[in-house]
Structure 1
């Protein structure tokens, strides 16, 4: 637990120092009360006047120290949670695609919001308070034994009972707190899912049903939290009752000693004050311990998220792409029993253009994802200029590859940010990217040009505009390898043709396009057509050569053309 404060040691040490000061002043109050009461009983007005001035000075010092201690404690809490959140964020963002996808986005959101709140309220704050009150307890215990060994022994006996009773429920509280955290993650997941699919729900008139689903999940969250809070209330109640019993017992025993003449009345008041300084900290610590234990599983999960997941790509060689990329008997499946690629082999020459075609599900997108180092668990080999992908520095590999996907993701930022992603480029690069992508054709018509806010997921732009922005983002870096994963499907045929034609004219660019557009005038623009079927490259060659061959590609294109023109087929 103390590891939470490892990165703010000086601040944490200052908090301990302030705690010692508060504890010392708390115990000193008992001595001041004792002297004041004895002065009153002895009718010593001069001594009473002195003690009155001492008491006023004490109050001023106590107020100043308490305020400073509270401010330092708040700063420690804020810093500890900020550091933990930063660690978890870095751990999540350092994951590669393969490990990032092991959890849903909602799980990450819940960890950075709900779980952080649990750690703050159930671990950090209770732990700091426990340390503070432990210092008060220790000083009060020493003072009690100084006044009376009998009273000190009674207080320690009561302490054992105060610890045993509430601690019995600590483990169960931890399990219920973990269940609450899990339910929060589920709720966050379904909220994110339903809000993202709002348009579908509205179109299908399922808003009321979705509202009921969210209400049910919300009730489940409340139920899990109440189950944990019930046990916390039981623990706090037991601690409070034991504390009250212990204070009453101390008062009775001390009263008997005063009646016997074995103790002064002022000492009675001092012991009563110290018993409060002894019991209250123990009660608070006993209340805090179950909370800390309850939050431990959540903190453990956050620490796991904060550790970078080991990547399957651990190579350190600098990649060089000057000749070719070779796929050698590559096999892969997202599930072991359902292979997507089966012994696929192909060679892609640098500077040439390739178009991947085939039925949906044949493995086209999976193939380019492997090339973009999104998954490491494939069989066979993917070699870039003779060096296998696993042996290369994968971050340097990503510096060579740009990808435009069918569903272009836009951030809720300006149009400029969505192209540059916060990086700086020369005017020449900007002009080139805007021209090739066609963004320059509409940018003047959308309000503030590059400074236009695109909205969440680009909601203020059309589908075609969003896709053009994605193309501009991919080519502004001028990387040697560009993948269009149906990247022009969201624009009309003429615009798609214009974009692809512009890309095909870029010197020294290796272009790999996945498309369902089988128009001859488009496919003839590419150097090579790769026809995929059942996870393999079944045919490879120029468009005209494959048509002349009258093999699988020719049949596939003929069938697609027939499906695209049902009226003409019926006329025949």
Structure 2
């Protein structure tokens, strides 16, 4: 958490300074009470009225500082939360393909939403609470010292009980915090799964199941949150009991000092308020410190500052001028299951290759290896004479574009899904749309490229989504284009037209996996590979 405080160090220091002024004005108001009572006892009317005015001014300043401090800290907390989300998303985006898919994507969403909210409320905001109660305690102890040294000694002795009593709940709070986070992740995954099946439920008139499922799956996170709240309440209650007892002892001791004429009578009002500052502060300090410490497992879960990518120390950054592909005894296993039997092939630059075979023969596995998704293969894959594993991720992505069998369409516009945030001219986009046989459809839309595709492309047919994904790949003019069943949702006539278009590209190696080979495209093929 200190990383994010350091990023905002200037504003954080300024906020701490204002908090110090706020604490100082609160203690000053308590001290004024001493002189108010003393002036009444000595019947000093003018002094009394002057002190009343000073007390009013002090509280006005205190109220103004509260407004400024809480406005500033709200801004700082949001800046730190934004930075934390950036770091988490950066860590997620740097994960290798296999590590990313080791978790459900809904878990990552929970990290960025539920967990960050917990850290925001229980960490960043609490930091300023800790500063506030600490300064309240320090200034109040200094004020108590001005009355009598024994009050400070007594306060420090009683503080030990006030600080450490709530720490008894630290382990339980850590456990409850982690369990709540996990329950939120599971709840998000479960709800998303049900909502993604809305069309199926609608078809069977079972949309009521969404309500039932949300109600049922929401009970566990609700229970965990209640348990977390009870644990936090227990820690706070222990602190409050320690605080109340300590405050009463301090007031009694002040009375004894006043009777012995060691401190003015008016101090009974001030020491009560000052003791309240100290013990209320320390009563909250214990639970707040525990709350911050309980967030450590969450930060550890994100592996922030740890390189989660694969070791790239030996990876090449040389340009791939001649992206010839050589496969030598290439094979792959999923645990004990053979996903791709050994295969040796040479694919010259700009060749057009069709890969066919029975289901389970390893067609998609081969493309996933060539796309750099599966790097724990056996044998050798060389591109331009360099081993695939030794190529940098950036170099590989610039050389190879992979069009998935079931393309993902993002919420947004046609342009958004084609460019993915990168800059491309309209002419380049139109050319890619023509190559994928989608140009006429896009131009027929009311807003053209800026037309919405709906949630996950629901406004498009399956074939249109495939052509959109194909256009997305063609737009980047890769040296190697991998197409996994890229036309299986198209009608035969349209499929043949699209296949002829991307197989006729002269400056690109095309590797196309299909289970249905159209005779019309055979003249465009350089190699036909059948996997057994």
- Regarding TM over 0.5, the answer is yes
- CA–CA distance in 2 between the matches of 1:310 and 1:421? 22
Answer whether contact 1:151 1:250 (CA < 8 A) is retained.
yes
Any idea what SS the aligned residue of 1:477 has? coil
Corresponding residue number in structure 2 for 1:329: 329
Answer whether contact 1:356 1:364 (CA < 8 A) is retained.
yes
Which structure has the larger Rg over C-alpha atoms? 1
- CA offset at residue 459 of structure 1? 1.0
Q: Describe the shift of the 1:319–1:334 C-alpha distance in structure 2 as closer, same or farther (beyond 3 A).
A: farther
1:264 maps to 2:264: yes
- CA offset at residue 263 of structure 1? 2.9
- CA–CA distance in 1 between the matches of 2:80 and 2:422? 31
List gaps (5 residues or longer) in structure 2: none
Any idea what SS the aligned residue of 1:333 has? strand
Answer whether contact 1:355 1:523 (CA < 8 A) is retained.
no
Corresponding residue number in structure 1 for 2:450: 451
Structure 1 window deviating more from structure 2 (265-274 vs 204-213): it is 204-213
Corresponding residue number in structure 2 for 1:554: none
1:385 maps to 2:380: no
Answer whether contact 1:364 1:514 (CA < 8 A) is retained.
yes
Q: Deviations over 1:294-336 (max 9, x none)?
A: 222112223x15644122555033241426200111222232x
Answer whether contact 1:325 1:384 (CA < 8 A) is retained.
yes
- CA–CA distance in 1 between the matches of 2:133 and 2:104? 41
- CA–CA distance in 2 between the matches of 1:348 and 1:312? 28
Any idea what SS the aligned residue of 1:511 has? strand
Answer whether contact 2:364 2:513 (CA < 8 A) is retained.
yes
- CA offset at residue 32 of structure 1? 1.3
Q: Deviations over 1:388-431 (max 9, x none)?
A: 11222221121121222222211111112212223333454233
Where do residues 182-221 of structure 1 align in structure 2 (5 Å cutoff)?
A: 182-203=182-203, 207-208=207-208, 211-221=211-221
Q: Describe the shift of the 1:178–1:325 C-alpha distance in structure 2 as closer, same or farther (beyond 3 A).
A: same
Q: Describe the shift of the 1:67–1:29 C-alpha distance in structure 2 as closer, same or farther (beyond 3 A).
A: same
- CA offset at residue 358 of structure 1? 0.5
Corresponding residue number in structure 1 for 2:107: 107
Q: Describe the shift of the 1:292–1:198 C-alpha distance in structure 2 as closer, same or farther (beyond 3 A).
A: same
Corresponding residue number in structure 1 for 2:246: 246
Q: Deviations over 1:536-561 (max 9, x none)?
A: xxxxxxxxxxxxxxxxxxxxxxxxxx
Corresponding residue number in structure 2 for 1:350: 349
Q: Describe the shift of the 1:256–1:289 C-alpha distance in structure 2 as closer, same or farther (beyond 3 A).
A: same
Answer whether contact 1:313 1:376 (CA < 8 A) is retained.
no
Corresponding residue number in structure 1 for 2:83: 83
Q: Deviations over 1:260-315 (max 9, x none)?
A: 4443221211211211111111111123123223222112223x156441225550
Any idea what SS the aligned residue of 1:258 has? helix
Answer whether contact 1:327 1:383 (CA < 8 A) is retained.
yes
- CA offset at residue 489 of structure 1? 0.9
Corresponding residue number in structure 2 for 1:505: 504
- CA–CA distance in 1 between the matches of 2:426 and 2:256? 91
Q: Deviations over 1:146-168 (max 9, x none)?
A: 31233222222221222232111
Corresponding residue number in structure 2 for 1:340: 339
Answer whether contact 1:317 1:391 (CA < 8 A) is retained.
no
Corresponding residue number in structure 2 for 1:407: 406
Corresponding residue number in structure 2 for 1:546: none
Structure 1 window deviating more from structure 2 (114-123 vs 313-322): it is 313-322
Corresponding residue number in structure 1 for 2:43: 43
Corresponding residue number in structure 1 for 2:172: 172
Where do residues 132-151 of structure 1 align in structure 2 (5 Å cutoff)?
A: 132-151=132-151
Where do residues 557-568 of structure 1 align in structure 2 (5 Å cutoff)?
A: none
- CA offset at residue 511 of structure 1? 0.9
Q: Describe the shift of the 1:59–1:210 C-alpha distance in structure 2 as closer, same or farther (beyond 3 A).
A: closer
Corresponding residue number in structure 2 for 1:417: 416
- CA–CA distance in 2 between the matches of 1:399 and 1:323? 12
Answer whether contact 2:438 2:468 (CA < 8 A) is retained.
yes
Count of aligned pairs between the two proteins: 531
Normalising by structure 1, we get a TM-score of 0.88
Corresponding residue number in structure 1 for 2:367: 368
Corresponding residue number in structure 1 for 2:278: 278
- CA–CA distance in 2 between the matches of 1:291 and 1:141? 25
Q: Describe the shift of the 1:263–1:428 C-alpha distance in structure 2 as closer, same or farther (beyond 3 A).
A: closer
Answer whether contact 1:312 1:377 (CA < 8 A) is retained.
no
- CA offset at residue 208 of structure 1? 4.8
Answer whether contact 2:504 2:524 (CA < 8 A) is retained.
no
- CA–CA distance in 2 between the matches of 1:242 and 1:280? 10
List gaps (5 residues or longer) in structure 1: 534-572
- CA–CA distance in 2 between the matches of 1:81 and 1:362? 47
- CA offset at residue 204 of structure 1? 5.2
Q: Describe the shift of the 1:201–1:321 C-alpha distance in structure 2 as closer, same or farther (beyond 3 A).
A: farther
Answer whether contact 1:115 1:298 (CA < 8 A) is retained.
yes
Corresponding residue number in structure 2 for 1:466: 465
- CA offset at residue 209 of structure 1? 5.0
- CA offset at residue 206 of structure 1? 5.4
- CA–CA distance in 2 between the matches of 1:226 and 1:10? 38
Normalising by structure 2, we get a TM-score of 0.95
- CA–CA distance in 1 between the matches of 2:475 and 2:428? 6
Any idea what SS the aligned residue of 2:338 has? coil
- CA–CA distance in 1 between the matches of 2:523 and 2:196? 40
- CA–CA distance in 2 between the matches of 1:332 and 1:476? 31
